[in-house]
Amino acid sequence: MPGSAGRNGERRRVVLTGIGPVSPVGIGLDDFWGALVSGRSGISRIERFDTSDLPVHIAGEVKPFAPEDWVTPKEAKRTDRATHFAVAASKLAWKDAGEPSVDRARTGVFLSTGIGGLGSLLEQHRVFLDRGADRVSPFMVPMLMPNASAGHVAMAFGFTGPNECIVTACAAGAHAVGEAAMAIRDGMAEVCIAGGTEATILPLTVAGFAQMHALSRNPEPSTASRPFDRDRDGFVLSEGACCLVLEEAERAVGRGARIYAEVAGYGASADAYHITAPEPEGLGAIQAMLACLEDAGELPDAVDYVNAHGTSTQLNDAAETKAIKKALGDHAYRVAVSSTKSMTGHMLGAAGAVEAAVAALAIREGIIPPTVNLENPGDECDLDYVPKQARRTEVRLALSNSFGFGGQNAVLALRRFEP
């Protein structure tokens, strides 16, 4: 992976020029960033269905959200909520990038998800049981397949370049951004829409994650997600999407694009340890972080900020803290680390893209969003987690960590762009 070069033998630089968030804390960049900087939580009691028979009653819902604002009424009926989010996020990102003129054959889509169109599958299963096989929708399969969102985003713009769907649980969004950057570096594309989408706030998924003891049972929505805190008791399930526009740097500079940051490095690894629990010493995470820094041509002491995976689970937060300390050495204690999942909740396959956007915004704006709800750091959590309030400080190099069920790890390095 390190040292990837274009087809002319030179490594092509990749920059981020558009951001499109659809999240529990806001739709669109201004609302999204404003909420994070002010420390405002997007977690609330679930409104889309009755939770009285469920052990967990809170989540990070995207509201209000009208699919017809982003797709036609006919398309809204024939596509899953995850696709609605993805198309909305891609259109927001493209507009934010200035709607650049592109060669459609040289423009790709790399869009991830953790679970795909599960809501559509469950709805059609209900139809099958209640009304019979001949009433199942002919659109069921294209609604539920994980790659549907990537296909619909490409169709929305007419992009015929590389189109991929990456399904690596909670690391998927970061993998999608990293793989898109590699495609531009290697000359497969000049421009890519990259990101992730997820729409899994459903009774079955709430029940399933709760049975794993993965979800917080805290009844107070705004304080339930508390990464690195002594009293953390699980993550908060959320939904949404985030798309980024990535471009070859010379092209972006040439058209006068606003550049948020350079996508400078990408590292990936596998724990090969357990299907859901992280490796206790953070070995896979360390490997990914060091590979990312090598790919970026940076040393550990150059890192200014880490947007942590920070799920608010006992095992993840302890293992990630160990990984940051081992990867960055003594410098870890001088680095600002925060988890924006304390406000957004865990958006699963979209989380990595959301958090890469946060890292880029921290660089451009010189503001690090806080880890809200951090009252008493856990026994193994002894880093600077930027508790409660945002911090104004210069950020040149930021890492964004994403780790998923299955032991998949992805780390992105975002750097201030210097032509």
- The catalytic residues are 170, 309, 346
Three-class secondary structure of residue 403 per DSSP: strand
Which of 269, 277, 333 is closest to 306 using CA atoms? 333
User: How far is C-alpha 293 from the geometric centre of its chain's CA atoms?
Assistant: 20
Query: Which of 402, 305, 311 lies closest to 353 in space, CA to CA?
Result: 402
Instruction: Return the C-alpha torsion angle 309, 376, 277, 225, nearest 10.
Output: -60
Question: How far apart, in Å, do the first and last CA atoms of the chain sit?
Answer: 23
Q: What whole-number distance in Å separates Cα of residue 35 and Cα of residue 108?
A: 30
- Pairing label, strands 261-270, 391-392: unpaired
3-state SS, residue 163: strand
**Helix, strand or coil for residue 347?**
coil
Residue 98's Cβ-count burial label (10 Å; 0-12, 13-18, 19+) is middle
C-alpha to C-alpha distance for 352 and 341, rounded to whole angstroms: 11
Would the CA dihedral through 69, 158, 348, 399 be positive or negative?
negative
Cα–Cα dist 226/304, whole Å: 22
Q: How far is CA 340 from the centre of its chain?
A: 11
The C-alpha atoms of residue 180 and residue 3 are separated, in whole angstroms, by 15
Count CB atoms within 10 A of the CB of residue 371.
Answer: 30
* Angstrom distance (rounded) from CA 188 to CA 206: 40
Name which of 417, 12, 402, 389 is nearest 191 in CA terms: 12
Residues 60 and 323: their CA atoms lie apart, in Å, by 28
Cα–Cα distances in angstroms (integers) from residue 167 to residues 53, 150, 164, 398, in the given order:
30, 12, 10, 24
Q: Is 129 exposed, middle or buried (0-12, 13-18, 19+ CB in 10 A)?
A: exposed
Instruction: Let me know how many helices (H) and strands (E) the chain has, helices first.
Output: 14, 15
